Amino acid sequence: MTSNDETTETSATTEMTATGDADLDGFGTWRALTPLMDLVTPMALRVAVTLRLPDLVDEDGSDIGDLAAKTGTDPDALGRLLRHLVGRGVFAEPRPGTFAANGTAALLRRDHPSAAWRWLDLDGFGGRMDLAFTGLADTVRTGRPAWPAVFGAPFWDHLDANPELSASFDATMAANAGYGELAEGYDWPALTRVADVGGGTGVLLAELLLRHDGLRGVLVDLPDTASRARRYLAGRGLADRCETVGGSFFDELPGGADAYVLNRVLHDWADAEATAILRRCADAAGRHGRVLILESPIISGADPAMFAEMNLRMLVLAGGRERTVDDYRALASAAGLRVAAVRDVTARHTVVECVPVTAGT
């Protein structure tokens, strides 16, 4: 015999089986949707990184009271956070109230070469960037970036007004960027002077100059960032081979370089602004220079899922967009340039070479 409730549930299951949806009944629905809807684990992981728990939790076990004292947190709340992460495979609890690091937690330590922690730290740019997605609904409704609605000012203005966040942005962009491979994978020795436009603190330019003795450089970025770049380049022993210029890439750029590099700059901007930046580079390059657009290989369209994610991310943050190679051809044409070649230089870098439309025609 079955109860009325059991009969109803059996009938519902039979009906769903007939429509092919039996596996989505009850807990099946929850299991199918949880990987798409869960915000608890992503936030718990970010809080753990922000509190530096991967660095503080010992592999042999750390007492929850000691961890709470070191992190300035409530022991009960911290224990709940850690137990949730234990259930997701981050950390272990070998004894009640004692937590231990494991292989997954080790990936999030500050000394790990991946620097993955930078993308999760809520006190830095990486975590702040993800918090901007709390305004995604507004972006979808209006087509405008969410950053101003969430943080009170447009993306670049916010960074400019917060030096620590701006420095975190520069460090995050440079972390584990593969610039050494890039410096060896392209024909930089054929050049004599390279201008890194929007070059951050100079990490890429330093790699180029250190590997190619005949190369000289100029870095252009906003004044505060250019000051940090000047100190960084001097610390690498390159002060006499590299000029730093504090200014906007929407203004006139210094001439005299035979290549103007835009390293993951254009995807931050909508088409009108991206075209203006390219035009400034084209004007500075003149008839005999070139403009090198450095972007991720996703511009080839080989990874549509990653392209779609980054396309949405750039809109939410700053109103920018990812572009295909054909999109870059259109931008270049609007700026008085043409795409002469597209080269996949490393697994992380594609170079779109642009020259004046009069060159070679």
Catalytic positions are 267
Torsion sign (Cα): 268, 269, 274, 277: negative
Strands 193-197 and 259-263: parallel
Instruction: Outline where 72-174 has alpha helix (H).
Output: 75-87, 103-106, 125-131, 136-142, 147-151, 155-161, 163-174
Alpha-carbon distances of 204 from 92, 110, 359, rounded to whole Å: 39, 22, 27
SS3 assignment for 163-206 = HHHHHHHHHHHHCCCCHHHHHHHCCHHHCCEEEEECCCCCHHHH
Number of alpha helices (DSSP H) and beta strands (DSSP E) in the chain: 18, 10
Q: What is the dihedral of CA 79, 82, 84, 87, to 10 degrees?
A: -120
- Contact (CB, 8 A) for 229 and 174: no
Instruction: Work out the number of other CB atoms within 10 angstroms of the CB of residue 313.
Output: 18
What distance in Å separates the CA atoms of residue 35 and residue 356, rounded to the nearest whole number?
48
What distance in Å separates the CA atoms of residue 304 and residue 190, rounded to the nearest whole number?
34
